[in-house]
């Protein structure tokens, strides 16, 4: 999109009562919300073309999580631009949010054919396969997306989730490490990265959190190590005390926050005293 056109769209977003603070970065779309005060009628920016207005409307519908209407809006856009990879991808996202994985897959594959260097639909198709528990296929798509765009932290995160699903934890830790190196807050985002879906669910959350903790330990990030060790502990991870012997945690093991998590775990697993028989 040309810079002037983008400026016009952003100006209209503000005219409709949007502000940067209303944007949240997981799910499928950002949490844009209109201002609560509708007492004054809003008029679109007169510099915007009907096409730009239609694109903005579709984006707002996605942001409001009105996915059925968003899918219709993007398909109307595709009527005049049937090979637009971005529209195809976002249509797939809307259908995936509606639980219609077959239609989502259809539009993702059309987007991939329309632009072979567009990594988002490749990644998003991986999330469809992950939801179907076809982890091998998901891994294939995530790796392909990385080949196309190797600097996208969310795709490494998704690949790590898929490795965890098949219990390949060393491989998961390696790619999680790449994800946090690119974006230390990758596991803390609560919105999507625009047109890219990020995986958030796992069959074994305790093992997943422990693996994420190890990835942060390699970076020496004690605060996040403690946070994810606590999540692993609270979800039932059973081998937490082995952290003190694991060289991966050497940089952070003496941190008070990490020690606190381990101390609570140690106290909770201690054998209760037997009552006095006398």
Helix (H, G, I), strand (E, B) or coil at 202: coil
Rg (CA), the chain: 23
**Domain assignment present for 131:** yes
Question: Tokens representing 261?
Answer: 């998590």
Q: What is the pLDDT of residues 118-150, one digit of tens each?
A: 999 999 999 999 999 999 999 999 999 999 999
State the DSSP code for 248.
G
**Domain assignment present for 7:** no
Question: Tokens representing 151?
Answer: 């600097």
**Domain assignment present for 168:** yes
CB 139 within 8 A of CB 159: yes
Q: What is the pLDDT of residues 67-80, one digit of tens each?
A: 999 999 999 999 99
At residue 47 the predicted structure's pLDDT band, cuts being 50, 70 and 90, is confident
Residue range(s) defining the domain that contains residue 152: 119-188
Q: What is the reported pTM?
A: 0.78
Looking at every residue in the chain, the average pLDDT score rounds to 83
Report the number of distinct structural domains present in the chain.
1
CB 215 within 8 A of CB 193: no
Paired residues of 193 in beta bridges:
196
At residue 189 the predicted structure's pLDDT band, cuts being 50, 70 and 90, is confident
Spatial separation of the C-alpha atoms in residues 278 and 264, rounded to whole Å: 31
Which residues, other chains included, contact 36 with Cβ-Cβ below 8 Å and sequence gap of 6+? none
For position 193, what pLDDT does the model report? 52
At residue 192 the predicted structure's pLDDT band, cuts being 50, 70 and 90, is low
**Domain assignment present for 126:** yes
Looking up residue 178, the CATH number of its domain turns out to be 1.25.40.10
CB 30 within 8 A of CB 90: no
Residue 38 or 226, more confident: 226
Q: Calculate the alpha carbon distances from 134 to 100, 107, 146, 154, 163 in Å.
A: 16, 19, 19, 19, 12
138 C-beta neighbours (distance < 10 Å), count: 27
**Domain assignment present for 210:** no
Q: What is the pLDDT of residues 149-183, one digit of tens each?
A: 999 999 999 999 999 999 999 999 999 999 999 99
For position 270, what pLDDT does the model report? 45
Q: What is the pLDDT of residues 254-267, one digit of tens each?
A: 999 999 999 886 55
SS3 content of the chain, % helix, strand, coil (to 5): 65, 0, 35
Paired residues of 196 in beta bridges:
193
Spatial separation of the C-alpha atoms in residues 175 and 160, rounded to whole Å: 6
For position 206, what pLDDT does the model report? 95
23 C-beta neighbours (distance < 10 Å), count: 14
Spatial separation of the C-alpha atoms in residues 136 and 43, rounded to whole Å: 50
**Domain assignment present for 249:** no
For position 33, what pLDDT does the model report? 30
Question: Tokens representing 112?
Answer: 């991939």
**Minimum mean pLDDT range among 21-30, 94-103, 224-233:** 21-30
For position 265, what pLDDT does the model report? 62
Residues 231-242 have a mean pLDDT of: 93
Spatial separation of the C-alpha atoms in residues 124 and 158, rounded to whole Å: 10
**Domain assignment present for 251:** no
**Domain assignment present for 148:** yes
Spatial separation of the C-alpha atoms in residues 138 and 147, rounded to whole Å: 14
């Amino acid at each position: 999109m040309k810079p002037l056109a983008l400026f016009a769209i952003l100006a209209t977003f503000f005219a409709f009562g949007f502000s940067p603070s209303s944007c949240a970065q997981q799910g499928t779309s950002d949490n844009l919300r209109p201002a609560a005060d509708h007492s004054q009628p809003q008029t679109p920016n007169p510099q915007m073309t009907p096409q730009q207005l239609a694109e903005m409307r579709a984006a707002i519908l996605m942001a409001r999580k009105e996915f059925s209407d968003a899918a219709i809006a993007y398909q109307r856009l595709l009527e005049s631009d049937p090979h637009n990879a971005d529209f195809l991808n976002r249509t797939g996202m809307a259908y995936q949010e509606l639980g219609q994985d077959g239609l989502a897959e259809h539009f993702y594959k059309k987007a991939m054919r329309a632009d072979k260097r567009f990594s988002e639909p490749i990644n998003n198709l991986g999330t469809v396969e992950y939801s179907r528990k076809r982890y091998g296929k998901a891994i294939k798509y995530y790796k392909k997306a990385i080949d196309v765009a190797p600097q996208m932290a969310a795709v490494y995160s998704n690949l790590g989730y898929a490795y965890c699903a098949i219990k390949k934890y060393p491989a998961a830790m390696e790619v999680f490490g790449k994800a946090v190196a690119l974006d230390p807050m990758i596991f803390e985002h609560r919105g999507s990265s625009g047109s890219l879906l990020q995986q958030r669910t796992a069959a074994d959350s305790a093992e997943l959190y422990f693996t994420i903790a190890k990835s942060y330990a390699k970076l020496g990030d004690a605060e996040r190590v403690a946070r994810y060790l606590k999540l692993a502990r609270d979800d039932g991870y059973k081998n937490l005390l082995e952290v003190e012997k694991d060289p991966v945690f050497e940089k952070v093991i003496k941190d008070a926050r990490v020690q606190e998590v381990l101390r609570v775990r140690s106290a909770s697993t201690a054998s209760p005293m037997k009552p006095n028989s006398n």
